[in-house]
Structure 1
Amino acid sequence: MNPFEMVAVIVVAVMIASVLRAKYSHRHHSLEQSPEERAETLRLRQEVGELKERIKVLERITVEKENSLAKQIEELRDDR
């Protein structure tokens, strides 16, 4: 596993842990959410969206670097 994949795995693990912690950290005393809970839910959803975007960027960077490196190696082989 290369470093970029490891970073992606760590980000996903943190994202899942934060969602689970937010979901199960408080007791459900009522079915209605308070305004504070709604604000926290919105904040967490935005954070998850941002983390997903970061993962996409990391994946794109990883693929581009691998493809670029492979092309450079092939060019060096062809020059011989």
Structure 2
Amino acid sequence: MNPFEMVIGIVLIVTIGSIIRAKYGVHGHRGRDSGYGPDITPRDDAETKALQAEIRALKERIQVLERIATDNNRAVSLDEEIEKLRDRSLP
């Protein structure tokens, strides 16, 4: 391979790499940003907090369901409590 072909090869590799980085939104290593992932804006921060609250609520529900599923002694009393609630809701 002569030097001219090597220069063309390097230019092609750098160009293809730049196109791939632009496609996936990866930025350089300048400043605080590591260059990976999207930049976080205040709008995204509000959405993040809402999603974290939703995840927290779902985890609490899962804990309740796990407790119900693994508590064998309360299965009968749980059925009775559910029936009592159904009886109250009926007119």
Q: Tell me which interval the TM-score lies in, with the shorter structure as reference length.
A: 0.3 to 0.5
* TM score, norm. by length of structure 1: 0.42
Higher relative contact order (CA 8 A, sep 6+): 1
* TM score, norm. by length of structure 2: 0.37
Which structure: larger Rg?
2
